Amino acid sequence: MSLSSTDGGRTTTVRPEELRAGMQAWKTGTTIVTATGAHGQPVGLVCNSFNSVSLDPPLVSWCVDRKSSSIESWSTTEAFSVHILDEGQQEWITRFAQRGAEKFRGLEAPLTSVGSPALVLAGTRMDCVLVKRYDGGDHLIMLGEVHAIENR
C-alpha cells in the first residue's frame, strides 16, 4: 500500500517499507536536522533524539533544547529534513554541533521539496512536514510526516 500526503500543493509518496529501510540506515545514532529559519536563513543542528513514530502515516520525531541558539526557527518552521549520518562523518557533526550561523558557510544546500536545506552528503535524508510541536519540559518535541526519503 502506498501512502500519499498533500501539503501546499506538494504530493509525495512514502511507503511503509521505505520508511523502515530509511530507519535501518540510522546506525550511528546521530542525525543533522535542517530547516529554513524564521528569517529565511538555513538552520541546522546535531540531534540524537530522532525516532520513528508510525509507519502509517509515516511519522518521525526529534527534540530540540529550548536553549538552542536557533530555537526561534524551530518554534516557527513548518518543515524540516533529517540527515541520517553514515560512519566516518565526524566533520559534519563537528560543523553542526557549533553555535551560530557559520554552519552553512561554503556549503551547497539546495532546498528540498518541503523547503528545508538539503546537505550534500552520503547517507539517508527524510524530508518532513511538521504535524505538531509538543512541550517536553526543557525541550521542544517535533513530530513530522515524512514526505520524501533520499538515499545517497
Banded pLDDT at 101 (limits 50, 70, 90): low
pLDDT of residue 20: 76
C-alpha cell at 7: 501539503
The answer to whether residues 61 and 120 touch, using CB atoms and an 8 Å cutoff, is no
User: In the predicted model, is pLDDT for residue 2 greater than 50?
Assistant: no
pLDDT of residue 25: 64
Facing residues of 128 across strands? Answer: 80, 146
At residue 5, φ and ψ (nearest 5 deg) are -130, 145
**141: Cβ contacts below 8 Å, ≥ 6 apart:** 61, 62, 63, 133, 134, 135
pLDDT of residue 3: 37
At residue 26, φ and ψ (nearest 5 deg) are -85, 75
Which residue shows C-alpha cell 508510525? 54
Q: What is the mean pLDDT of residues 105-127?
A: 94
Domain count for the chain = 1
Burial code (b: 16+ CB inside 10 Å, e: under 16) for 36-47 equals bbeeeebbbbbb
**69 closest CA partner among 34, 44, 52:** 44
Higher pLDDT, 151 or 134: 134
Q: What is the CATH number of the domain that holds 50?
A: 2.30.110.10
User: In the predicted model, is pLDDT for residue 117 greater than 70?
Assistant: yes
Give the torsion through C-alpha atoms of 12, 59, 94, 111, to 10 deg. Answer: 20
Domain range spanning residue 135?
4-151
